[in-house]
């Protein structure tokens, strides 16, 4: 969406704070031995206390209130009583919600407990690359230039990017124009970031492979080729003529 009034900015600020706080608290609440369903229920309670509605549930009837992906799951992981978190797991939590007609989206990957799988460099690279990419965005910048930056930084760190998962516009709906903000230089995407628009920018940094595939067993969970690990980090931002306003900064994914 394009922000054209103080009321719209206030609405986007409120929903962004809700999703950011929920993500932060869920990350802190996660413990080895806990089911992903228990973690999801905790996130649902926080959203409800803030008056917000789960975006994936509201929009797609997703079988959960947040997406929780573990280890080789890339995104859209379904919370489950049977999925028990373990020390050393790579965990991704993605929280998006609606509040008073406004929508925001954010997410982050982290190592639960000890880095037993040696994946902290992957997580750190994803966070660092998102920070660099976001701080290069302002009105008039080509979307494919930011995608090129993300993929170059990934290669320099020894990783690849997932090409078929993308950032997107957000605001009056969960997915709006621009519909694709990819993690690579797409020469066919000639769109530019527009001043006063709101977008969700995200990184999908991969240990190997460049494509996510839908798990046919549940129809939701996205995975890569065998053995792929992916770290994702995401912020909802307001684009200006200089540095963007990071509306979900409160999720503390960069801390």
pLDDT score recorded for residue 2: 97
pLDDT score recorded for residue 56: 97
* pLDDT tens sequence across 147-178: 999 999 999 999 999 999 999 999 999 999 99
The percent of residues above 90 in pLDDT, for the chain, comes to 99
* pLDDT tens sequence across 183-194: 999 999 999 999
Q: Is 179 annotated as a binding residue?
A: no
pTM (predicted TM-score) = 0.97
pLDDT at 233 over 90: yes
Q: Is 188 annotated as a binding residue?
A: no
CB distance 39 to 83 below 8 Å: no
Distances (CA, A) of 59 to 45, 125, 197: 19, 31, 22
Q: Is 136 annotated as a binding residue?
A: no
Of 48, 30, 47, whose CA–CA distance to 39 is shortest?
30
pLDDT range class, residue 112, cuts 50, 70, 90? very high
pLDDT score recorded for residue 219: 96
pLDDT at 232 over 90: yes
Q: Is 115 annotated as a binding residue?
A: no
Distances (CA, A) of 243 to 133, 137, 177, 196: 11, 7, 20, 12
Q: Is 76 annotated as a binding residue?
A: yes
Query: What is the rounded distance in angstroms from the CA atom of residue 19 to the CA atom of residue 250?
Result: 9
Of 112, 119, 124, 114, whose CA–CA distance to 30 is shortest?
112
Q: Is 135 annotated as a binding residue?
A: no
pLDDT at 97 over 90: yes
Q: If you average pLDDT over every residue of the chain, what do you get?
A: 97
pLDDT score recorded for residue 44: 98
Q: Is 168 annotated as a binding residue?
A: yes
pLDDT range class, residue 45, cuts 50, 70, 90? very high
pLDDT at 226 over 90: no
Domain range 6-250, CATH architecture: Alpha-Beta Complex (3.90)
Residue ranges per structural domain of the chain = 6-250
Q: What does the pLDDT average to over 52-72?
A: 97
* pLDDT tens sequence across 69-91: 999 999 999 999 999 999 999 99
């Amino acid at each position: 969406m394009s922000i054209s009034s103080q009321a719209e900015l206030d609405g986007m600020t409120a929903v962004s704070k809700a999703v950011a706080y929920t993500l932060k608290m869920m990350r802190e609440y996660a413990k080895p031995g806990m089911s992903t369903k228990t973690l999801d229920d905790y996130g649902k309670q926080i959203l409800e206390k803030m008056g917000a509605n789960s975006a994936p549930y509201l929009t797609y009837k997703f079988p959960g209130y947040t997406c929780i992906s573990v280890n080789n799951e890339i995104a859209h992981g379904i919370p489950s009583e049977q999925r028990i978190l373990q020390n050393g797991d790579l965990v991704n939590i993605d929280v998006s919600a609606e509040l008073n007609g406004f929508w925001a989206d954010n997410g982050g990957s982290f190592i639960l407990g000890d880095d037993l799988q040696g994946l902290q460099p992957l997580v750190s690279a994803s966070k660092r690359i998102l920070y660099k990419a976001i701080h290069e965005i302002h009105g008039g910048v080509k979307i494919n230039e930011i995608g090129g930056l993300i993929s170059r930084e990934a290669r320099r760190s020894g990783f690849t990017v997932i090409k078929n998962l993308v950032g997107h516009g957000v605001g009056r709906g969960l997915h709006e124009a621009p519909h694709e903000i990819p993690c690579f230089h797409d020469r066919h995407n000639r769109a530019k970031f527009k001043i006063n628009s709101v977008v969700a920018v995200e990184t999908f940094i991969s240990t190997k492979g460049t494509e996510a595939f839908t798990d046919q067993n549940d129809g939701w969970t996205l995975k890569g080729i065998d053995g792929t690990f992916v770290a994702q980090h995401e912020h909802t931002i307001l684009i200006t003529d200089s540095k963007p306003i990071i509306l979900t900064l409160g999720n503390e994914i960069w801390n």
